[in-house]
Structure 1
Amino acid sequence: MKFYFYKICSFFVLSISVCYAISIPPNKSIPAVFVFGDSIVDTGNNNGLKTIAKVNYPPYGKDFMGGIPTGRFSNGKVPSDFLVEELGIKDLLPAYLDPTLQAEDLITGVNFASGGAGYDPLTSEIAKVISLDGQVILFKEYIVKLTELVGEDRKNEILANSLFMLVTGANDITNTYFGMPLRKSYYDVPSYADLLVNFACSFVQDLYGLGARRIGIFGIPPIGCLPSQRTLKGGEARQCVDNLNQAAQLFNIKLEAYSSSQGNKLPNSRLVYIDTYNVLLDVIDNPQRYETKLDMSQDPGRIFRLDNCSKTKKAGQDMADMRVPRNKSIPAVIVFGDSIVDTGNNNGLKTIGKVNYPPYGKDFMGGKPTGRFSNGKVPPDLIVEELGIKELLPAYLDPTLQAEDLITGVNFASGGAGYDPLTSEIANVISLSGQLEMFKEYIVKLKEIVGEDRKNKILANSLYILVIGSNDITNTYFSTPLRKSYYDISSYADILLNYGSSFLKDLHELGARRIGVFGIPPIGCLPSQRTLKGGDKRQCVDYLNQAAQLFNSKLAADLSSLGNKLPNSRLVYVDIYNLPLDVINNPQKYGFKIADKGCCGTGQIEVAELCRFACSSDSDYVFWDSFHLTEKAYRLLVHKILVQHLSSFF
């Protein structure tokens, strides 16, 4: 499992480097590490228990020091060990119940985790292991011992400055909920996830009451892709089990929301949610991408630390990484979606959803308003620019479009569109099905220009981008009763996915093979939504962000499943939630000053025709208007996204 070591900076609100060595900010220190949880991090606490959930026998530990089975659920070290090793504290994190534990081990941290445990006390009871409550009792006993060793003041200092890690939850879902009827008979998945979060809340509050201040809570990994679950529930093809992965993602959404809100209620605390779902899913789906010349049998965790290094490279190194593989090419880029990527298709429509007038485009070539929903270029332009294809991606309905433009790609997106046909109908813009009809027309024109064989080659090797969904949730669902009266947000997300799946199948049928589907950004942090629904303090709107995350989790799972069904396809889920959220929450870190208002008008509500004047320095702003980003912000995101995802299309 990958540990986002760079997130340790969240405990200090400072950035750090993570390539093989972690730099702690000046005047800060981590005296000890304490770990609670399950078998992922257990380093031997179960060895003396009467439980089948213990592994103190070969071949476990075959690559550990001297080939000794220690009770670690792996061939060698486990994440607890790597964490203290990376921090330079010690080589291993010993189990608190290790009979060889020395007094000096207590000062730099110990491990209370118990394989088979969960948030739900029933999970630990079934497995006959140490529950989270039991782990807290052991921690209390530890505190008494530590006080005897170092005194009250030093004990308090150690506890306040140490890292506390909680890694559990997978057993609750795979075993207690889906493995038997004891909970499933009384709870659906969302309510059971709420129950688990409540147990997590109680545990964190207990830790805080005992002196913990820096607490990392790890999400649940893609448990539906565990070999055991593939075998038991994945059918003859042993595919990942979607309902398990979706349950994990739903819990993670709720856990992350809790971590964000609870951290503000515990004085002087740093409560950090750590995502272990997405990167591990990528490792499982694309194992070759993580190959390394290192001897993995000696250090199986090194691959994840190498991956962390890639996140800290300088821009020049990122550019070197953003390469199309040899003997591969991207002849054209084709874009579908909404206003985030529209480059002018709405200009000729009878809709208020168009922006072909100042101050839009004030930083575009010659200060010309082209129908792009920003001060300058938008993501499709920046994508073709970064790929070296051409400088701009023209709108298909641009009256000045030339025949040669068709060969290298065009844009069918329409500002205001959505997966839901009703969304486009309300805004009086081009629906996804309408965009598909224009694409069919484009194919005919392309064939006339280059012939059948070249047309097929262009279609098969081009990059297709779909950016849509925000309008469905913010406008159609939460702002009108037209869908909300009949669907809860989860079932509405399923409807959107059905429309999306149908669209992708049609694209594939027409010749598309490399398709990137973007998730929904943190729409609750749009300036307009802060103003309308964020209260007097204009805070981010949690329920909108949670809806976006719920949809994204379903989308990622759906794409993984659909990709296996469409021959020779590359369907890639592109996360545009987490990085934009970090830019919004930490604008100075990325070279911005203002992230809660747009440059246009007062910045709080203005968009389209309400946007009559602009600020003097849009480079200070993350947002251009109350919905859309500035070119500077788009450029940052596009570059990072291409670096991260380009190789996935080959």
Structure 2
Amino acid sequence: MTSEQKRWSLMHVISIMLTFKMVSFEVKGDPQVPCYFIFGDSLVDNGNNNGIASLARANYLPYGIDFPDGPTGRFSNGKTVVDTVTELLGFDAYIPPYANARGRDILSGVNYASAAAGIRDETGQQLGARISFGGQVNNYKNTVSQVVDILGDEDSAANYLRQCIYSVGLGSNDYLNNYFMPNYYQTSRQYTPEQYASVLIQQYSELIRELYNYGARKFVLNGIGQIGCSPSALAQNSPDGSTCVEKINSANKLFNNQLVSLVNNFNNDLQDAKFIYINNYDIFQDLINSPQSYGFTVTNAGCCGVGRNNGQITCLPGQTPCQNRDEHLFWDAFHPTEAANVIVGRRSYRAQSSSDAYPIDISRLVQL
């Protein structure tokens, strides 16, 4: 080969490489928002409980059996709902847990969620240590101080944080590990379901306003799913093991209805912010009503666990789970499989039904 041919060949290779690089960059692009902050419980905890004295931990197999990094603390066989949303928002890595977030990594967001946590501080205390919603908000305030230090001043931090998505998903444990656990808690004797929903929403509202005061402007408020249809509820309170427990679901709907009203109130009162509601209750209703449409064959039993329909307790360390995990709606007594989480995450990001998100979905929220 002549020197001229070699030079042309080299230039051709470089041209192809640059083209591929440009195509790759255009396909991936930057995330749709600079950061994603997550507040919640075991449905979205990705490792914050690993290092605390809690029975609510999932940093062992078979949890994470289908996750690339193995057991991380996620209460699923694989991805959670927020992992799916993280991918759809265009991030190239999952949002780190507060327990591990360091340095400039916090600029892409932080996951503060803690298994067994509730809106009320005492919720989940029978399971040991956990970080309540109030504690998570305090941790976020600490993050904001770090963001100010990294970006140089409060104005720069405020302009940065106002572009980010803030996902809040708490309340399930305030029912499962509080109100409907009368042997441990007084709340069911102190409040009617209507009163309890109002008490929860009041405290929830105060903490949301704290987030607003510390820079949050784009809020995703997640409704409670159908707790009364979980394998745990079915094992303990369903007469036939498959009929959802109405008293639990009715209480959840009271909370969700007030959460929708809260979204409306905040959107009216805080004109420089935007709040949306994700209707997890009806999304799960759809999965339960039409499981075959989504590839599910088992909706009333966990893929692993112990007791009736694997519904009495969560997966034991080293336990062998079912093989057909993508056909199960629930992974363990309380938590959905990755297959279900992916569906919920996709419908949260881009509504499949007009009732999935109110007044808009996440894909439209990021554009504001």
- Counterparts in 2 of 1:436-585, with a 5 A limit? 436-452=137-153, 453-480=155-182, 481-585=185-289
1:409 counterpart = 2:116:
no
Whichever residue aligns with residue 353 of structure 1, its letter is A
Determine the structure 1 residue equivalent to 2:85: 383
**Greater Rg by CA:** 1
Whichever residue aligns with residue 76 of structure 2, its letter is S
Partner residue of 2:340 out of 626, 633, 645: 633
CA distance in 1, matches of 2:271, 2:226: 33
Partner residue of 2:41 out of 327, 338, 345: 338
Q: CA deviation at 1:422?
A: 1.5
Q: CA deviation at 1:489?
A: 0.5
CA distance in 1, matches of 2:319, 2:53: 20
CA deviations over 1:302-326 (Å, ceiling 9, x no partner): xxxxxxxxxxxxxxxxxxxxxxxxx
CA distance in 2, matches of 1:555, 1:537: 30
- Over the aligned positions, Cα root-mean-square deviation in angstroms equals 1.7
| Seq. identity, % | 34
Partner of 1:347: helix, strand, or coil?
coil
CA distance in 1, matches of 2:196, 2:173: 13
CA deviations over 1:427-462 (Å, ceiling 9, x no partner): 320011111111111111222222224322221110
CA distance in 1, matches of 2:216, 2:198: 24
1:433 counterpart = 2:140:
no
After superposition, the Cα gap between the structure-2 partners of 1:370 and 1:523, relative to the gap in structure 1 and judged at 3 Å, is: same
After superposition, the Cα gap between the structure-2 partners of 1:565 and 1:590, relative to the gap in structure 1 and judged at 3 Å, is: same
Asked if the contact 1:331/1:408 (under 8 Å) is kept, the reply is: yes
Q: CA deviation at 1:331?
A: 0.8
CA deviations over 1:503-526 (Å, ceiling 9, x no partner): 111000001000111011011100
Partner residue of 1:604 out of 311, 328, 348: 311
CA distance in 2, matches of 1:450, 1:385: 25
Between stretches 489-498 and 610-619, larger displacement belongs to 610-619
- Counterparts in 2 of 1:605-620, with a 5 A limit? 605-609=312-316, 612-620=319-327
Whichever residue aligns with residue 412 of structure 1, its letter is Y
CA deviations over 1:118-152 (Å, ceiling 9, x no partner): xxxxxxxxxxxxxxxxxxxxxxxxxxxxxxxxxxx
Determine the structure 2 residue equivalent to 1:588: 292
Q: CA deviation at 1:411?
A: 0.2
CA distance in 2, matches of 1:536, 1:636: 28
Q: Identify the structure with bigger relative contact order (alpha carbons < 8 Å, sequence gap 6+).
A: 2
Determine the structure 2 residue equivalent to 1:348: 51
- Counterparts in 2 of 1:83-482, with a 5 A limit? 329-366=32-69, 368-398=70-100, 401-427=101-127, 428-452=129-153, 453-480=155-182, 481-482=185-186
Q: CA deviation at 1:402?
A: 3.9
Deviant stretches of 4+, over 3 Å: 424-427, 608-611
CA distance in 2, matches of 1:621, 1:377: 14
Asked if the contact 2:148/2:157 (under 8 Å) is kept, the reply is: yes
Partner of 2:221: helix, strand, or coil?
strand
Query: What TM-score results when the alignment is normalised by the length of structure 2?
Result: 0.83
Between stretches 510-519 and 479-488, larger displacement belongs to 479-488
Asked if the contact 2:218/2:365 (under 8 Å) is kept, the reply is: no
Asked if the contact 1:342/1:372 (under 8 Å) is kept, the reply is: yes
Asked if the contact 1:585/1:595 (under 8 Å) is kept, the reply is: no
Query: What TM-score results when the alignment is normalised by the length of structure 1?
Result: 0.48
Partner of 1:515: helix, strand, or coil?
strand
* Number of residues of Structure 1 aligned to a counterpart in Structure 2: 320
Whichever residue aligns with residue 596 of structure 1, its letter is N
Determine the structure 1 residue equivalent to 2:6: none
Unaligned runs of 5+ in 2: 1-30, 352-360
Unaligned runs of 5+ in 1: 1-327
Asked if the contact 1:467/1:519 (under 8 Å) is kept, the reply is: yes
Q: CA deviation at 1:420?
A: 1.4
Whichever residue aligns with residue 378 of structure 1, its letter is T
Partner of 1:423: helix, strand, or coil?
coil
Whichever residue aligns with residue 388 of structure 1, its letter is G
CA distance in 2, matches of 1:533, 1:622: 19
Determine the structure 2 residue equivalent to 1:104: none
CA distance in 2, matches of 1:389, 1:600: 31
Partner of 1:516: helix, strand, or coil?
strand
CA distance in 2, matches of 1:424, 1:566: 32
CA distance in 2, matches of 1:608, 1:560: 39
Whichever residue aligns with residue 414 of structure 1, its letter is S
